[in-house]
Structure 1
Amino acid sequence: MIGMIAGGLVGHFFPHVGQALMPLAEGFIKLIKMMIAPIVFCFVVTGICSAGDLRKAGRVAAKTIVYFEIVTTLAILIGLLLAYALKPGAGMNIDPAALDASAVAAFAGQATHIGNGTDFVMNIIPATFWSAFVKGDILQVLLLAVLVGTALQMLGERGKAVVGLIDDLSQVLFKVMGVVVRLAPIGVMGAIAFTTAKFGIGTVQRLGALIAVYYLSCAVFIVVVLGVVMRLAGLNLWKFTKYFKDEILIAMGSSSSDAVMPVVMAKLRHLGIKDTTVGLVVPTGYSFNLDGFSIWLSLCVVFIAQATNTPLSTSDLVLILGVSLLTSKGAHGVPGSAIVVLAATLSAIPALPVVALTIVLAVDKLLGYFRIAVNLLGNCVGAVAIAAWEKDIDVSRARSVLDGNLEFRFDGEGRVPPDA
């Protein structure tokens, strides 16, 4: 929080200094990202091996995908419904022919790769074992981890020595992560200072209706959908959100949910959720459960239609829902992913002009803060939901943690502390 406030003040009063501080944020994010792939690999492999039953790991994976699809669909529907009810783009009367197509040419070019479902599936398979780690592609690393974990399970006693080595390696990685996390305030300060200096406070005044409706849509999703899920799991959503407040603020400040993935996984373990569930649900959710992004995507599509006076039929709305479910899966890990995927979605709907996404570019940074926060909270709730479904969570311990009776300390070990 101190880093966010300091960054905002520096960016507002000393804009030249603020823009020069961006390397602090970039350096912090790079330090985090270099650790994510090996940590996820070790986490998932040891989680599968500790499960003791390959059928259980497969069952968890299947339930995870089903849950993500249901929740993502609800997120898209909320965005569509509130966009139609509140009409944030009505009255703008923008002529697509008058917009600067060059501003979105790069995004539209990348969009063809996002919109191809076959390419998305094939890209999950790495060219070599090591290329997945070099690229830092979480889905590729996850596939390798599942295959290696399954193979070690099948080896039985002969595989235990390798499992022990991987577990020891994970502790080394978590120790390094414990050091890096201490630099979070510096990284957040650099990101906020740059954003404030570059875009200014006045940016909020433009396209204010879109921002307001998006924030409202996210609030409705959190209270109605995530609130019901947490109630069914027997936990309090408000206390749960407070438990992850630091990670949410860091993710918002650094504009990267990757920056907090290892700590989030450790905190979910501390909450009383088994390793198998945490290891499979959280990394998968980073690509398949982007709730905040899904709301944003459907809302922006309807907003653009309203702003350009483009009528949408019932079949167009069904197409938007279907296309959004597919394109949103390619959002994580793509540079400028939000705009790229929006371009892919618009390209798949003939009635809508792709060039009109320039309308959204001006405020995407402001929308992005809450988008990241809802994505992260949705994935944390998803882990609880699957754990409750599988009876892989100690609910009494979780309540005690959320009540503040069992404090989480990230000491770099990444394990549940002895007071469990």
Structure 2
Amino acid sequence: MRIFKKLYVQVLVAIAIAIVFGLVAPKQALAMQPLGDGFIAMLKMILGPIIFFTVVHGVGHIKDFRRLGRLGVKTLVYFEVVSTLAMGVGWTMVHLIRPGEGLHAINLAVNPGALAGISKAAHADFTFTHFALSIIPKTLGEAFVGGEILPVLFVSLLVGFALSSVAKPDWAVFKLIDEGQAIIFKILAFIMRLSPIGAFGAMSSAVGHYGPGTLLYLLRYVLTYYASALVFVVVVLGLVAACAGLSIFSILSLIKEEALLAMGTAASEVAFPRMVTKLKQAGCDELVVGFVLPAGYSFNIDGACIYMACGLGFIAQATDTTLSASQWISLLFVMLLTSKGGAGAAGGAFVKLAGTVQSTGALPLTGVGLLFGIDRMLAVATSTVNVIGNCVATLVIAKSERMLDEDAYRVALGRGKATARPASLRESADRAGRPERDDEAMGGATPNGLSIPLRAGDKS
């Protein structure tokens, strides 16, 4: 059937089979974990080059740095406002439903070894000085081997600024960047063919490890968290999108493959490469995609914010800890710091939650151990919300800056016909003051895989 040729359908079927397989044959399902780990590792392998080429290609053509400054300020303000709203939704839902009430978990025994590891990781990662200095790599090359997004973004911005300042329109470096970008996206296309296998391995091993007992244990909290994520996406992000003249349901339709991929692997980082391609194909200017999306994976992790707010509320209820209004406000400000950076990978939000508990001392660290067993189930929603939130942010900011080609956006949604080149490519060529490359020589395709019809008057 033709429908099974679609990637998102293949991923969805693989997830369904993995759940059944994990419940029926848990021991055999555990052996599937290397499939998921290998797929995630391959995608992480090309994250750095994709960010580098995308950012340098976008920033390198800029001549008006005031525009970039305005974009940066608007982006960071947007991130902080929406992240705070995400925490507010999680905090409100967990206090309305109160899933941890009556558990009296303060008396439960928790693995001391696990707590020691949690405490060590939390203490090591969560100081402002450490966070700020971790953005600056020791060498340019180290930024690409550490596996962190912020150092790569930092180096990419420096290279882009330098290129924009000194490069001339006819410099060969522009062609080199274009060709490098084409190679990286072709590698991405090869890897993405394996996404159903990766989703199957990750999901089946998770279900096989925790089993049906864990799916029932703390079910009320799991449902509370999923309800919080749903309310945030539909209501909060829906209103944000509506204010920009966009529909949240259209956006969800646009990125359904990427959302399902994040859901199946419980890691939002694996969807990043395809998000770059999809958003540029949907008409977002390359500068917006190259700046907002990588920054969003460190500063706009909405799913992680909901995770932390719900988790703190649940721990307080489960351990019979009473906090005053001023203590909750203090926790909110701490979360605004500890939620930044590094939560895109599976398990990242759990470490951030542990860091918040460790740094404030307002809640017993033993309460964090309660969520350790169900973290994988929660990470499914966390990663999915992270992907959706960053997609909405990129589209909304592009629309507000008039850097969204609405014709291309409608084409990506299947609601129109491609009649012109996307604005992002036209503007990049215009800013550079050089002719656009010969698309015919590339088979009519850009590095992101988007076929571009010739304009009227061009040679066919």
Task: State the Cα distance separating 1:412 from its structure 2 match.
Answer: 8.3
Partner of 1:288: 299
Partner of 2:74: 63
Task: State the Cα distance separating 1:333 from its structure 2 match.
Answer: 5.8
Distance across 2 between alignment mates of 1:20 and 1:77:
39
Q: Is the 8 A contact 1:49 1:150 kept in 2?
A: yes
What letter corresponds to residue 195 of structure 2 in structure 1?
Answer: A
Find 1:231's aligned residue among 236, 242, 264.
242
Where has structure 1 moved over 3 Å in runs of 4 or more? 96-101, 333-336, 403-407
- Alignment CA distance shift 1:406-1:51 (3 Å): farther
Distance across 2 between alignment mates of 1:367 and 1:136:
23
Partner of 1:322: 333
Partner of 2:173: 162
Is the partner of 1:348 in helix, strand or coil? helix
Find 2:158's aligned residue among 132, 141, 147.
147
Partner of 1:309: 320
Q: Is the 8 A contact 2:222 2:378 kept in 1?
A: yes
Find 1:393's aligned residue among 376, 383, 404.
404
CA-atom RMSD, angstroms?
A: 2.0
Partner of 1:248: 259
Partner of 2:436: none
Provide, for residues 322-376 of structure 1, a one-character-per-residue CA deviation record: whole Å limited to 9, x for no partner: 0110000033367732222111111232331112111111211111101110010
Partner of 2:60: 49
Q: Is the 8 A contact 1:99 1:358 kept in 2?
A: yes
Partner of 1:257: 268
Distance across 1 between alignment mates of 2:344 and 2:256:
23
Task: State the Cα distance separating 1:221 from its structure 2 match.
Answer: 0.9
Distance across 2 between alignment mates of 1:10 and 1:79:
32
Partner of 1:417: 451
Provide, for residues 231-276 of structure 1, a one-character-per-residue CA deviation record: whole Å limited to 9, x for no partner: 1221211121022111111111122222121111111011111000
Task: State the Cα distance separating 1:136 from its structure 2 match.
Answer: 2.4
Taking the TM superposition and a 5 Å limit, the aligned residue runs for 1:3-402 are 3-96=14-107, 98-157=109-168, 160-332=171-343, 336-402=347-413
Q: Is the 8 A contact 2:279 2:289 kept in 1?
A: yes
Provide, for residues 103-150 of structure 1, a one-character-per-residue CA deviation record: whole Å limited to 9, x for no partner: 221111011132201100000000000001111221101011100000
Higher helix share: 1
Distance across 1 between alignment mates of 2:140 and 2:361:
40
- Alignment CA distance shift 1:9-1:99 (3 Å): closer
Q: How many residues are matched?
A: 418
Partner of 2:426: none
- Alignment CA distance shift 1:7-1:405 (3 Å): farther
What letter corresponds to residue 65 of structure 2 in structure 1?
Answer: L
What letter corresponds to residue 373 of structure 1 in structure 2?
Answer: T
Is the partner of 2:404 in helix, strand or coil? coil
More moved, 19-28 vs 93-102? 93-102
Q: Is the 8 A contact 2:269 2:344 kept in 1?
A: no
Highest RCO, 1 vs 2 (Cα 8 Å, sep ≥ 6): 1
Distance across 2 between alignment mates of 1:245 and 1:347:
36
Distance across 2 between alignment mates of 1:159 and 1:188:
44
What letter corresponds to residue 222 of structure 2 in structure 1?
Answer: I
- Alignment CA distance shift 1:290-1:17 (3 Å): same
**Higher alpha-carbon Rg:** 2
Is the partner of 2:102 in helix, strand or coil? coil
Q: Which runs of 5+ in 2 are unaligned?
A: 1-11, 419-444, 455-460
So what's the TM-score if we normalise by structure 2?
Answer: 0.87
What letter corresponds to residue 275 of structure 2 in structure 1?
Answer: V
Distance across 2 between alignment mates of 1:396 and 1:120:
41
Provide, for residues 369-395 of structure 1, a one-character-per-residue CA deviation record: whole Å limited to 9, x for no partner: 011100100000000111112111122
Distance across 1 between alignment mates of 2:344 and 2:278:
23
Distance across 2 between alignment mates of 1:99 and 1:5:
32
Task: State the Cα distance separating 1:306 from its structure 2 match.
Answer: 0.8
Q: Is the 8 A contact 2:178 2:447 kept in 1?
A: no
Distance across 1 between alignment mates of 2:165 and 2:121:
41
Q: Is the 8 A contact 1:316 1:349 kept in 2?
A: no
Q: Is the 8 A contact 2:36 2:202 kept in 1?
A: yes
Q: Which runs of 5+ in 1 are unaligned?
A: none
- Alignment CA distance shift 1:41-1:48 (3 Å): same
More moved, 378-387 vs 92-101? 92-101
What letter corresponds to residue 147 of structure 2 in structure 1?
Answer: G
Task: State the Cα distance separating 1:97 from its structure 2 match.
Answer: 7.0
